[in-house]
Amino acid sequence: MHADNALQPTFAAANAAALLTLGVPTLLMSSNEYKDIADQLQSQLAPLMSEHGFKKRGRSFYRLTADGLTQIVHLQMGPFDPPGTTYIPGLRENLYGSLTVDLGVYIPEVSQYHGGSPKKTVQEYNCSIRARLGELSDKRDIWWELRSGSGAYAEISRRLLTYGLPWLDGLATRDAILQALEGLRDPPWGATSPPRIISAIIQARRGRSGKARELLRAQALETSNPGHPEYVRALAAKLELGALDA
């Protein structure tokens, strides 16, 4: 295998047989080798991330924006499934030995009212706005198989520079987030929280009760989840917005 192809991109829809054609079968990689190659990749990305204001912590890179938001780029390693696990192409893939890149924006007040409580140590899954790098660059999930070498660095860094970091730059302030979510009912990215809930909490904390109430009223009326309207009304009460039906 050519050195430039040592770390190959594979999509979540690829089946296990296709993964094996890329080199040494993933299951032959030890956990230490898996970790070492992930460490190598993270070290290669560190100068680029530092240049853009990020600091390394664990398997993630963090930066704090001027508006008090935390932005995260996280390297997520595929899980080790127990022996006998059944894999179904397109539904359940063997991702052990692979890595994907998660991005997130953490908004403290949204976490306080919609995510439990503000976190001292923020993880990517605590973020209200979340996306995968492959989703931003190719409109689909991408996992890179890890192999000895540095082939993934070029692909991941290119996507970060072209798609991931500009996406985070465009969501560096609450005003930018409100603008990006304006008029949206469904989340525009990955595991992002409902846009109206994010916007309503930001607006309520800014003292714009009327706008916040309007957003939550629409959220409660248009949801297809039977238990969601009650949750939205309880959220309105926590935000001291009064009854949504009034």
11 Cβ contact list (under 8 Å, min separation 6): 134, 140, 141, 142, 143
Comparing 146 with 48, the larger pLDDT belongs to: 48
- Mean of the per-residue pLDDT values of the chain: 83
Q: For residues 64 and 55, what is the distance between their CA atoms, to the nearest angstrom?
A: 10
Comparing 96 with 230, the larger pLDDT belongs to: 230
Comparing 13 with 153, the larger pLDDT belongs to: 153
Q: What is the CB neighbour count within 10 angstroms for residue 23?
A: 16
Distance of CA 180 to the CA centre of its chain: 16
pLDDT tens figures, 112-134: 999 776 677 899 999 999 999 99
β 142-145/129-132 pair status: unpaired
Checking if the pLDDT of 90 tops 90, the result is no
pLDDT at 225: 83
β 142-145/98-106 pair status: antiparallel
pLDDT tens figures, 175-219: 999 999 999 999 999 889 999 999 999 999 999 999 999 999 999
Q: Which amino acid is at 225?
A: N
3-class DSSP state of 51: helix
Tell me the two tokens of residue 161.
């520079």
Nearest to 136 by CA among 107, 103, 169, 105: 103
Whether 216 contacts 235, CB under 8 Å? yes
pLDDT at 79: 61
Mean pLDDT value of segment 10-31: 41
Phi/psi zone of residue 139: left (φ > 0), alpha (ψ -120 to 50 degrees), beta?
A: left
Structural domain spans, the chain: 3-174, 194-238
Mean pLDDT value of segment 73-83: 76
pLDDT at 66: 98
**Longest CA–CA separation in the chain, Å:** 67
Whether 100 contacts 11, CB under 8 Å? no
Please classify residue 103 by burial: count the beta carbons closer than 10 Å to its beta carbon, then call 0-12 exposed, 13-18 middle and 19+ buried: buried
